[in-house]
Amino acid sequence: MNVEGQKQYKEAIDAFKEGLKTDPVNSGLYSGLAECYVDTNEYDIAIMYSKMALDNAVSKEEKLIATGIIAYAYSMNEDYNSAIGYHKELLEEDSKNRDNFFNYIISCYYFFWSIWRQRINTRKVNYVNFFF
């Protein structure tokens, strides 16, 4: 990300935080912060603000948005087990999007498997000893 892009995200983050001073239970402000942190690859902070958005959500839509951001941030942070858990919550809450979420969950499993396989291959672990 270039310097100008970083500056714009910093300004947006500051604006969301300023808004939270006057409305500390606004789920949309927390989600906005979370999205800024996702876009700047700060996934742990994004997860934290998304969970705050989820805690303060008053509508189904706010809950779905916050849950989706959490699932995405966990995926990008390569914590696929956590991501899958939140995607399952999305499936339960929003059945209209089952196909999209199902495909995303499959991709999480695929990425988890490919990373695991790479780590095994680089360590030269004997598969028989690894499983038994």
- pLDDT one-digit tens code per residue, 9-22: 889 999 999 999 99
Report the alpha-carbon distance of residue 101 to residue 107 in Å, rounded.
10
State the angle between helix axes of 43-56 and 60-76 in degrees (0 to 180), rounded to the nearest 10. Answer: 160
By C-alpha distance, which of 110, 37, 25 is closest to 69? 37
Task: Indicate the DSSP class of residue 59.
Answer: S
Question: pLDDT under 70 in the chain at which residues?
Answer: 1-5, 94-132
At 96, give phi and psi (nearest 5°).
-65, -25
Q: Is the pTM of this model over 0.75?
A: no
